[in-house]
């Protein structure tokens, strides 16, 4: 019998029902995907009450199922890029991403990305796991970025994002005075054409819902809190432009600004369910300096 010490490699589940197969419990009750379950079966990484076991065995009420996740090697080159950690536990690392930095390596940005910085942090902390991004932010959007430390956490959080269980809120500074104190934009979004990255409101596009609330009005601009119910590409930028209040500095859906050198959009709040404890968590990311300075200029 193996005695497990809780860490990022170990997840334990308490069995509440009698007579179910272990694989049924993991899939149906704890939302383990078929792909991940097959991986656990292949590596013989499932235990019942401390004993390694096949998943076609029956578990009883009061039993404890444990899954063991092996160490991994990440392919990103570790680089000492500063990262601002706003939350961390065995399963998740949540950052406040600064503007003007790419999340993961691409052909045009092969290094000096957030992924390189996280790989360096993992190496320093001896966390032997791949860097798994749960969400993405554009290079010029700042704020909350979620990294999973293991495949279980990645799968669980990704499912929450896909099912809109998470509650994402943004701050945006837009052109013009938004008259209504709050409102909802329900307009489908799709690609402008096959070659452009730009999106637009289209009748036959994908459903998109954006809620907004006015936080502050300036001389000719408005600070909005945005709550999105769907996660379409460029959704906030497209919707706000569509209602005649494009984000200041958005060169794709508006025009460049002399007051800020990127779109004034910040992901500042995230409510989610902890993949391990199932507790609700709420994290905040402070406003970056460039948006604070923009507000000062607009107030001047």
* Residues annotated catalytic, as ranges: 138
Burial of 104: CB neighbours in 10 Å, binned 0-12, 13-18, 19+: middle
H runs (alpha helix) in the chain: 22-24, 34-42, 114-124, 151-162, 235-242, 289-299
What is the Cα–Cα distance from 187 to 204, expressed in whole angstroms? 10
Structure tokens at 49: 């009450």
Bridge partners, residue 51, by sequence: 48
Measure the CA dihedral 162/163/164/166, to 10°. -90
Residue 136: strand, helix, or coil:
coil
Of the CA atoms within 13 Å of residue 214, those in its CB half-sphere come to: 15
9: left (phi over 0), alpha (psi -120 to 50) or beta: alpha
Structure tokens at 120: 């360096």
H runs (alpha helix) in 32-188: 34-42, 114-124, 151-162
Distances (CA, A) of 263 to 96, 141, 187, 247: 16, 7, 21, 6
Q: Measured between alpha carbons, how far apart are the two ends of the chain, in Å?
A: 69
Neighbouring CB atoms inside 10 A of 61's CB total 11
């Amino acid at each position: 019998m193996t005695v497990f010490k809780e860490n990022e490699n170990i997840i334990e589940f308490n069995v509440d029902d009698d007579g179910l197969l272990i694989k049924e419990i993991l899939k149906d009750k704890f939302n383990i995907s078929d792909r991940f379950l097959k991986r656990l079966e292949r590596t013989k990484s499932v235990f019942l009450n401390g004993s390694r076991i096949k998943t076609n065995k029956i578990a009883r009420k009061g039993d404890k199922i444990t899954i063991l996740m092996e160490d991994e090697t990440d392919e990103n080159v570790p680089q000492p890029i500063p990262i601002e950690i706003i939350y961390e536990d065995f399963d998740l690392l949540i950052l406040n991403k600064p503007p003007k930095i790419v999340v993961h390596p691409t052909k045009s940005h092969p290094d000096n990305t957030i992924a390189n910085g996280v790989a360096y942090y993992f190496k320093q902390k001896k966390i032997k796991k791949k860097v798994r991004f749960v969400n993405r932010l554009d290079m010029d959007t700042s704020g909350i970025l979620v990294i999973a430390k293991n495949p279980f956490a990645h799968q669980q959080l990704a499912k929450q994002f896909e099912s809109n269980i998470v509650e994402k809120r943004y701050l945006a500074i837009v052109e013009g005075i938004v008259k209504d104190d709050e409102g909802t934009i329900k307009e489908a979004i799709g690609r402008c054409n096959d070659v452009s990255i730009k999106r637009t409101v289209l009748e036959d596009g994908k459903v998109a819902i954006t809620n907004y609330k006015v936080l502050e009005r300036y001389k000719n601009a408005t600070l909005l809190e945005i709550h999105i119910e769907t996660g379409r590409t460029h959704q906030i930028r497209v919707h706000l432009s569509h209602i005649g209040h494009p984000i200041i500095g958005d060169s794709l859906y508006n025009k460049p600004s002399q007051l800020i050198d990127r779109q004034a959009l910040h992901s500042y709040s995230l409510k989610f369910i902890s993949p391990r404890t199932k507790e609700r968590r709420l994290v905040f990311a402070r406003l970056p300096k460039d948006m604070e300075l923009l507000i000062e200029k607009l107030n001047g």
